[in-house]
Structure 1
Amino acid sequence: MTVQNGIIKTPKNANNLQLILSRSWPIIIILLAATQCIYTGWGRWGDLIVDTGRELEWPRRILQGESLYSDLRFNYGPFSPYFNALLYRLFGVKLEVLAGAGATSALIAGFTLYALGRRFISRLGATIVVLSFFYLCAFSHYLQRGIFNWVLPHTFAATYGMLAALLSLYFLVRHAQDGKYTDQVVAVFFVGLSALCKVEAFFPALVAYGVWILATDSISRRRAVPVAFCFFMLVAAVYGFFSIRVGFPLWRDNLAGVANPGSDYFIKFMMGFQDSYGNLLYLLYGICYLASAIVLGVGTATIVKRDNINPYLKSVCIMLVFILVAAVPNFVLSEPDLLYQTTPVISVAVLLFLFYKYIRQSAERSKVLPDILVWIFALASIPRIIFQVTPQFYGYYMLPPAILGLGIFLYSYMPRLFKDLWGYGAMVAIGTALLSGTMIGTYLVSLERMAKKTVALTSPRGEMWLTPTVAEMFIPLMEKIKTFPRDTKLLIIPEASAINFLVERQGVDGMFSHLPMDYYGGFTDEAVLVRYKMSPPELILFYDSYMPHFGDARYGVTYGRKVYRWIIQNYIPITDLREDAVLLIPKAKVAGRQ
């Protein structure tokens, strides 16, 4: 074996069996890891209360004949709900259908990351990148809410969109390296598909493609512009169709809705601005950790490359350093995701170096451009989480490009400092320790979260595992709801439309949640009240929810006060008011029975 550009090369005279084994072991490990993740976590992803119900209900109600954006509020592009509706039509309206689609999208994204990684780094590095994606993002349960994963995500628009964006990057990089025109066409197709999903996924794909357009030669640029224009017109036609059908509410009440004032606190929280000092300090810790690991790796590589040291001692030295680097964030700092907080700094630093090299060394431009595309894509993926770049919250779908970037940094750039096999091995060990330490630490947290879900909630539409606390709060109410006719219109406040889905009771309208960000445009407190007066809910499930991510907002106290007062005046509880959640029916219905 030899080391070339930071990659171990298999000898050309290797026999066929050696070649097959060297090329197939990463695929086997990736498939085994995905199988283990799915087997361990199946049924534990998703959340009865938050977000999951909307993802289950949107495609189901589209199949019923309701229209997206007019009958059903939706803040993202139309691809994911219509695609999931197609899956329902083909395989049945069940939770497991979408969970299977989510797991499949995660597996495809994993192999896309592997294919991208292999264009820059070794099989080992590309495999570790994919495993990090699986255990940190795709199949994780890092937070209490099981919605930040690719199986049952907070929105499939995010995961489908990022998958399309990653595919666009792969074909764009392949075109930049190999020059095949068809790759460029396919890349533009996936850029367009990401535009039909979610803006946070579309943005990095668009930026990377724009950089390529500016940096490529004039002949490629002239060939690219007509293709890009055609796909742009197709995307514009899709949104134009909905604009004509829905009108101004398409933007006011749906696509631009997340930018309304009710989202301000939430957006700042997700970006890390609500605790900017703490997150900056966290960034400093991450930089110190990464720098210390690199210095330790360089020192170890400098020592083990000496010929007068016993190979056994070299191996022990590398192993001890590996254990130390992997253990620090988990057992010393108790911050397993510390490494990824450094992503913005590393991305900017690497891009500055690559741009400098691109400008000053014109002969190297074609070699540097693919690296630039990956790093600009990674940096453009994280503005929404810029001060807390971790697998928590939205990092589950924004972080994969950063994982790839770190993989290239640790398995390509750093090992190039050493040409000998032992020095290279020491630097690879440090990179593996950094990524695997984070991966193992965060997944242990996920396993702990999953283990707490011990109560199975089973219905004809699927099974979901709950914590005892959630089960005790909602399962008795769900059994009570089942005693009402199937056509009963059920309103749940502030959110838990997964209950609508699992007990097979229709929602009142196209609002799937009643959060501070939902009360804007054509759905102000007054407008929602008018709707409910015209078509009153026949059954209401209400629970008091603490919302720290919305500035400690409470329904009926800081927002939704008019609707809340109307409910109190016109509805009467039929379950114990002393419980955390209560069912209510119209007073007029009780009076009619009497």
Structure 2
Amino acid sequence: MLVAVSVALIAWSWRKWPDIQVDYGQQLYLAWQLSEGQVLYRDIFYNYGPLTPYAMALWFRVFGASLTTMIVTNLLVFASIMSMQYRLLVLLSNRFAAFVATLVSLLVFSFSQYLYGGNYNYVTPYETTLTYGMLFGYASLTCLAELIRLRGQEVNSSRRQTVMLLLCGLSLALCFLTKPETFLAAIAAAVIGIAALTDSGTRWKDQCANVMRYGKPLSLAFLGTLLVSVCLLRLGLSWSESSQGVFRAWSAVWERQPTKMGFYREIMGTDKVADNLLTMIGWTAVYAVIIVWLGAFVWTIRKRNTSMIAAIVATAPIAIYTVFFGDGVVWEEVVRSLPVVLALLAALDLFKLTIAKQTESTEPAAQRRSWLRLAFTTYALAMMLKVVLNVRLSHYGFALAMPATMVAVMGLTAWIPDWFTKRERFGNAFALGVCAVLASIAFIQLRTSNFYYSNKTVSVGDGGDQFWADGRGDFVKMLIGRIKHHVQPDQTLIVLPEGISVNYLTRRANSTPYLNLMPPNMTMLGEANVIAKFERHPPDFVVLMHRDSEEFGAQYFGRDYGRHLFAWLTTHYHSVTLIGAMPLQSEQFGVLLLRRNDLKK
């Protein structure tokens, strides 16, 4: 059934996933240029690890450069993530809870669009490095789960254990080569996993010996993979540049200064700490009331059929309100309480494990499950650090909030029902009521996505590059025609401040290393350095494409930031054609094609 739901969702949202201007074009252009022989970090400026760009370039070399290639390979990555996640959820709860949680992840997170801009999905993510990072993070968790299981066997396979440790170290290293947020989550879970494996013996010396025993193979695989990565990058870079490339995702964090930039402070929620804390508390209170309300029905009614009916009666008003009268609720904030809930769950598991170790009263199987649950909860908590006070379904939440949501759904459909069942109540009735509420929330989210997808009626791109866009697509289609008329295939082009999808769709290269010159990159690079690069390698043509970047604290390129570069462009380029309104002047969309003054016709 989960496969059927996935197929239906893919068909419903088919080729409506990318944004025509923002972010995803960078993934296509990056893969295309690397597959043509360009070198990452030398020829193309990039803020994340090298693994994903070169993996995408490999797919382009093998299967051809097209959006179709990217869709198919990303769907395979997504299927792998879902498969590993489902297996972990079964180990942590039961098949029913794992099914419900996975269904929620499909309906709410995987193929959705909750904002004007696309790209926050698993088929064409704003940064493919994020989903690859999740893939390897889940791979390391899967290895840890197997190691914890092997520890409980009477006849332990030391060879299989070593293989799992090596695979875990490899997965962590590959995750390190993607994005910092995914690696931090994976390594936090790995620390818990190693603690679970070494949780035997009372002497400090025994504990240290166990840490060394498990840590050596894992560390060997981790460091060995990073060393191999440096050597592979050395094929196109110096040793110094190769080493810096392996750590590029981490150095970029400091260069970007996220704690000072308003955009990242808003994303994390540190711009309005008090307000965000109140919102989190408010949503936590709402869920507490629903749980108590539903739990009271389940607790007081002991007959099975009556209990089931009571659960539906208890949750029906909530579901009806959500679907028919909940337009005033900001439903993307429905996950705002997750950091509070998961922190409490992690603290509870840690407390139970501490008591169990002191009293030796817990069954080994239950103790292993508690360790694994703590590891997964820790992973989910760490994934939310970037958005900790402002967790949402939209934007980065499609990936960063999904594991935490899985924990919450397991708690509501497995752990709490089990608590009722052990006390001779019908826990399944509680799970049924929860499913009714979850179904109403999923319906609302699908309705929101359908609103945005129904507005994507403009077909852009040819053949394997075709996708559906909103109204901006008409302007871009006309621009592509003008570029093909005025710009020769061997001439260069840059779209400012953002819109490198045009380069990819027209197969015109960018003579500069910059995928975009939005405020964060301009801050990191320094405008003087950018101008110097333009002077050394001036593009033959420039496209000014309207882009409101107010979320970064500077609305328009050339007016609120990048003024010196804009002045340089006006001196060295002249207008060729204008489509729509003059860009970067008002709220109206438009594009302007410029030609370098000294370029021969």
- TM-score normalized with structure 2 length: 0.87
Offset of residue 432 of structure 1? 2.0
Which residue matches 1:406? 408
1:100 equivalent in alignment to 2:97? no
* Correspondences of 1:198-347 after superposition (within 5 Å): 198-217=179-198, 218=207, 221-238=211-228, 240-241=230-231, 242=233, 244=239, 246=241, 250=245, 255-261=250-256, 263=258, 264-306=261-303, 311=305, 313-330=306-323, 331-332=325-326, 334-347=329-342
CA distance in 1, matches of 2:369, 2:542: 62
> How far is 1:314 from its partner?
4.0
The 8 Å contact of residues 482 and 503 in structure 1, kept in 2 or not, is answered as yes
**Aligned match of 1:186:** 167
Residue type of the alignment partner of 1:455: V
Instruction: Report whether the alignment pairs 1:502 with 2:499.
Output: no
Q: Is the 8 A contact 2:308 2:432 kept in 1?
A: no
AA matched with 2:518: L
Which range is displaced more, 505-514 or 429-438? 429-438
Q: Which amino acid aligns with 1:223?
A: R
- Which residue of structure 2 aligns with residue 526 of structure 1? 528
- Please tell me whether residue 432 in structure 1 is matched to residue 435 in structure 2: yes
Asked if the contact 1:173/1:370 (under 8 Å) is kept, the reply is yes
1:75–1:254 contact (8 Å) kept in structure 2: yes
Residue 79 (structure 1) aligned to one of 20, 28, 51: 51
2:168 matches 1:196: no
Letter in 2 for 1:200: E
The Cα offsets for residues 490-531 of structure 1, whole Å up to 9 and x where unpaired, read as 11001111111111111122201011111245x321111122
Residue-by-residue CA offset, 1:256-279 (whole Å, 9 max, x unaligned): 224335652221121122343443
RMSD: 2.3
- Note the alpha carbon deviations across 1:312-367, whole angstroms, 9 max, x for none: x5443222333334345553352334442111101111111111111112133434
Residue of 356, 367, 370 corresponding to 1:368:
370
Post-superposition CA distance 1:399-428 (Å, at most 9, x none): 222022112211232112312786212211
Tell me the residue number matched to 1:12.
none
Does structure 1 residue 487 correspond to structure 2 residue 484? no
Taking the aligned partners of 1:252 and 1:165, their CA distance within structure 2 comes to 18
SS of the equivalent of 1:414 reads helix
Unaligned stretches of 5+ residues in structure 1: 1-28
Map 1:415-454 to 2 at 5 A.
415-419=417-421, 423-454=426-457
Q: How many residues align?
A: 557
The one-letter code matched in structure 2 to 1:353 is L
**What per-residue deviation string (whole Å, max 9, x for no partner) do you get for residues 541-593 of structure 1?**
1023211320244212232221110111221112238442211112334xx66
Whole-Å separation in 1 of the counterparts to 2:374 and 2:578? 61
The 3 A distance-change label for structure 1 pair 278 and 436 is farther
Report the counterpart of residue 14 of structure 1 in structure 2: none
Which residue identity lines up with residue 598 of structure 2 in the other structure? A
- Measure, in 2, the Cα distance between the counterparts of 1:409 and 1:156: 30
Structure 2 residue runs of 5 or longer lacking an equivalent are 152-159, 199-206, 583-589
* 1:584 paired to 2:594: yes
For structure 1, which segment, 327-336 or 66-75, has the greater mean C-alpha deviation from structure 2 after superposition? 327-336
User: Whole-Å Cα distance in 2 between the matches of residues 123 and 253 of structure 1?
Assistant: 40
Structure 1: distance between partners of 2:380 and 2:111: 21
* Cα separation, partners in 2 of 1:88 and 1:47, compared to 1, 3 Å: same
Q: Confirm whether residue 562 of structure 1 aligns to residue 561 of structure 2.
A: no
Distance 2:243 2:310 in 1: 66
- Alpha-carbon distance in 1 for matches of 2:103, 2:215: 37
CA distance in 1, matches of 2:284, 2:239: 50
Q: What CA distance in whole angstroms lies between the structure 1 residues aligned with 2:562 and 2:242? A: 26
Q: Identity over the aligned pairs, expressed in percent? A: 21
Alpha-carbon contact 1:162-1:398 (below 8 Å) kept: no
Q: 1:185 to 1:411 in 2, by over 3 A?
A: farther
Q: Contact between 1:70 and 1:250, CA under 8 Å: does it hold in 2? A: no
User: 1:474 Cα shift?
Assistant: 2.0
- Contact 2:31 2:56 survives alignment (8 Å): yes
Q: Does structure 2 conserve the Cα–Cα contact (< 8 Å) formed by 1:500 and 1:506? A: yes
1:322–1:429: 8 Å Cα contact kept in structure 2? no
Tell me the SS of whatever aligns to 1:562: helix
Counterparts of 1:328 and 1:499 in 2: how far apart (Å)?
44
SS in 1 for 2:577: coil
Contact 1:270 1:385 in 2 (8 A): yes
How many angstroms does 1:178 deviate by? 3.7
AA partner of residue 582 (structure 1) = L
Instruction: Decide whether the 8 Å contact of 1:128 with 1:435 is kept in 2.
Output: no
CA distance in 2, matches of 1:269, 1:284: 18
Specify the alignment match of 2:587 in structure 1.
Answer: none
**SS in structure 2 opposite 1:574?**
strand
Partners of 1:422 and 1:441 lie apart in 2 by: 31
Decide whether the 8 Å contact of 1:574 with 1:582 is kept in 2.
yes
Q: State how far apart, in whole Å, the 2-side matches of 1:112 and 1:254 are.
A: 25
8 Å Cα contact 2:34/2:54 also seen in 1: yes
Instruction: Give the Cα–Cα distance (whole angstroms) in 2 for the partners of residues 252 and 416 of structure 1.
Output: 45
Contact 1:195 1:235 in 2 (8 A): no
CA distance in 2, matches of 1:183, 1:588: 61
Match of 1:160 in 2: 132
1:248, CA displacement in angstroms?
8.2
State the secondary structure of the residue aligned to 1:140.
coil
Q: 1:367 to 1:120 in 2, by over 3 A?
A: closer
Distance 1:233 1:165, change over 3 A: same
